[in-house]
C-alpha cells in the first residue's frame, strides 16, 4: 500500500539523488577536462553498482523503492548519457560516441553484477 509518507519520501530522497548526481558530475568534469562525458560515466557506473548492491540486500519493498527507485533513479541518468552520445555524434566524434556506449554498457553491467554480489554476501 502506497502512503502519503512514502510519496513524500520518494520526492525528498529523489531530490537528494538528483543533487548528488549534479555534484558528482560537476566535480568529475572539473578534474577531467575532456570533451568525453566522464562525469556522466562515473555517475552511471556508480549508480549501477549501488542499485545492484541494493538489489542484493533483499530489502523490504518500501525501502527498496526509496533507495533504488527514488535515490538511484534520480542519481543516474540515461537521458543525459544518450544526449551526450548524440552530441558527440553531431560533432563527428564517432569513436568517442561509440566508446561512450560500449564503455558505459560494459562497465555498467559489471558494476551492477559486482554490487549485487557484494550486497547478497552481507
- DSSP readout, 2-58? --HHHHHHHHHHHHHHHHHHHHHHHHHHHHS-SSS-HHHHHHHHHHHHHHHHHHHTT
Domain residues for the domain of 65 are: 3-121
Q: Which portions of the chain are predicted below pLDDT 50?
A: none
Domain count, the chain: 1
Whether 42 and 80 have beta carbons less than 8 Å apart is answered as no
pTM: 0.93
Answer yes or no: is 89 a known binding residue.
no
Answer yes or no: is 69 a known binding residue.
no
Report how far Cα 108 is from the mean position of its chain's Cα atoms. 9
CA distance 119 to 49: 10
CA distance 8 to 36: 36
Q: Give pLDDT, residue 1.
A: 62
CA distance 1 to 73: 21
Q: Give pLDDT, residue 58.
A: 86
Kindly report the number of other CB atoms within 10 A of residue 49's CB atom.
22
Length of the chain: 122
Amino acid at each position: 500500500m502506497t502512503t502519503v509518507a512514502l510519496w513524500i519520501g520518494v520526492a525528498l530522497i529523489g531530490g537528494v539523488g538528483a543533487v548528488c548526481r549534479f555534484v558528482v558530475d560537476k566535480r568529475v568534469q572539473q578534474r577531467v577536462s575532456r570533451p568525453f562525458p566522464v562525469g556522466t560515466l562515473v555517475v552511471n557506473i556508480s549508480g549501477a553498482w549501488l542499485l545492484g548492491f541494493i538489489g542484493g540486500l533483499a530489502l523490504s519493498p518500501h525501502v527498496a523503492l526509496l533507495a533504488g527507485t527514488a535515490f538511484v533513479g534520480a542519481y543516474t541518468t540515461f537521458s543525459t548519457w544518450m544526449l551526450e552520445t548524440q552530441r558527440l555524434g553531431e560533432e563527428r566524434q564517432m569513436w568517442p560516441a561509440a566508446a561512450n556506449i560500449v564503455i558505459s554498457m560494459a562497465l555498467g553491467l559489471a558494476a551492477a553484477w559486482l554490487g549485487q554480489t557484494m550486497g547478497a554476501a552481507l
